[in-house]
Amino acid sequence: MIVRTAVLSCAAAAAIGTAAFAQPAYDNRYGSGPPVSTPQEMQQTDQLNQQQTNDAVSANAAQMQSQSQYQDQLQQYNDQMHNYHAMQDRYRYERARYNATMAGYYYAPYDWGYPGPYYPGPDYPPGP
């Protein structure tokens, strides 16, 4: 039992030690990388980081301009559709008025006014 505990503890210590040695060197400035960078490598890294930042800013500006243009076109389309529907409503109204007027002209010759019914007064029939 003691031998077994000793073997397991040695195996655990070996695993921890191996894991500690297997970790890459850590550089505070550039993350994981070689433990020592030359000044030229540091300068090149700074230039690449600055270029990436500039590219991201310009891409963001282009996207904002594209979004603004899209919003303007969408607003123009919505205005045109509103005008189109207003014109359709006006056309339907005018067409209904025209149909009513034409129906009035068509039925006008047949619209005779008959006299109202005759209701005799209270002294009808005439007395003796």
What's the pLDDT tens digit per position in 33-83? 556 778 888 888 888 888 888 888 888 888 888 898 999 999 999 999 999
What does the mean pLDDT of the chain come to?
77
pLDDT reported for residue 77? 96
31: which strand partners?
A: 27
pLDDT reported for residue 27? 47
pLDDT reported for residue 44? 87
Nearest Cα neighbor of 17 from 9, 5, 25, 7 is 9
Nearest Cα neighbor of 25 from 16, 15, 36, 17 is 36
Asked if residues 35 and 27 have their Cβ atoms less than 8 Å apart, the reply is yes
**How many C-beta atoms surround the C-beta of residue 33 within 10 A?**
14
Give the residue with greater pLDDT, 24 vs 57: 57
Predicted TM-score (pTM) of the model is 0.40
Cis amide prior to 35 (ω within 30 degrees): no
| Lowest-confidence segment of 26-30, 95-99, 121-125 by average pLDDT | 26-30
Looking at residue 23, the DSSP 8-state letter turns out to be S
Residue for token digits 């243009």? 69
